Amino acid sequence: MPRKNTIKMYRENGFYHIYNRGVDKKPIFHDKIDYKTFLKYLKEALNPPKIDLQGATLQRKTKNFHNEITLCCFSLMPNHFHLLVKQKEARTIHKFIQSVMIRYAMYFNKRYKRFGPLFQSDFKATNILDDAYLLHITRYIHRNQLKLGISITEGYSSYANYIGKRHTPWVNTMIILDYFHPEKYSMLKHTQSYRDFVENFTPSETEESLNDALLCDENE
C-alpha cells in the first residue's frame, strides 16, 4: 500500500505543504554553503526571468516557475525541508519540486563525492483545504527551527520575512499576513500579529493532535 501523502491530490490554485528528508534520515545540509545552494535553486526557479532590451526572455538553463508557483513559507533543517506553496495549475508542484530536488542532489553528490539517492522518497505533499489548517501549517513550518535549539528568528526559514527583518522577493508573505487584518478572519480577532500567532503559541488539544500527525508523517 502506498505511504500516506505519496499519492497527491493535484488541484488548480491549491495550497500544498511539501516536505522531504534525507535517505535513512541522513543530513542533506552540512553547512551554510549547502543551505545557500538550495535557496539559490529556489530563487532561480521562482524569480521572474530576465528580459533583454527587446523584451525577449533571456535563455535559462533551468525551468522557471515564476508564474506557476507561489512560495509562501519554507524551513530548511539539517536532514529535511518544508515548503508551503500555492500552484496555479494542477501538477505544477510536481515539476517544480522535482526540478529543485534533482539540481540539489546533483550538486550535493558532486560536492561530497557520493552516489545514489539523496532524498528518502519522491516527496510528500499535503493538500490544504481550509484556512485554519493553512495558518497552522505556516506556524508549524516556522517553529521547526526551535528543534535546533536556536531562536525562531535564526536559521534558514522564511520567518524573518514575516516579521519585517528580511525581504525576499520570491517569498510571498501577503497571502498569509492578509488573514491578520481584524475584518478578514474572525478566528484571529484576539491575535495581535503574525509574530504573536507564532511565538506566543499555546497549543490546544486539536493543535497538539495536528502536530503529532505531522511528526508521524515526517518520521515514516
Please report, for the chain, the start and end positions of each structural domain, with discontinuous segments joined by +. Answer: 15-130+141-174
Question: Band of the pLDDT at 34, cuts 50, 70, 90?
Answer: very high
d(CA 191, CA 189): 6
Helix (H, G, I), strand (E, B) or coil at 139: helix
Supply 156's cell numbers: 534558514
Q: Is the dihedral of CA 211, 213, 214, 219 positive or negative?
A: positive
Q: For the purposes of burial, counting CB atoms within 10 Å of the CB of 94, is it exposed (0-12), middle (13-18) or buried (19 or more)?
A: middle
Q: What pLDDT is recorded for position 209?
A: 54
d(CA 1, CA 27): 27
> Could you tell me the pTM of the whole model?
0.86
Domain 15-130+141-174, CATH among 3.30.1370.60, 1.10.760.10, 3.30.70.1290, 3.40.50.1110: 3.30.70.1290
pLDDT of residue 117 exceeding 50: yes
pLDDT of residue 1 exceeding 50: no
Give which of 136, 125, 138 is closest to 9, Cα–Cα: 125
Q: Find the mean pLDDT for residues 104-112.
A: 98
pLDDT of residue 139 exceeding 60: yes
d(CA 217, CA 62): 31
Helix (H, G, I), strand (E, B) or coil at 204: coil
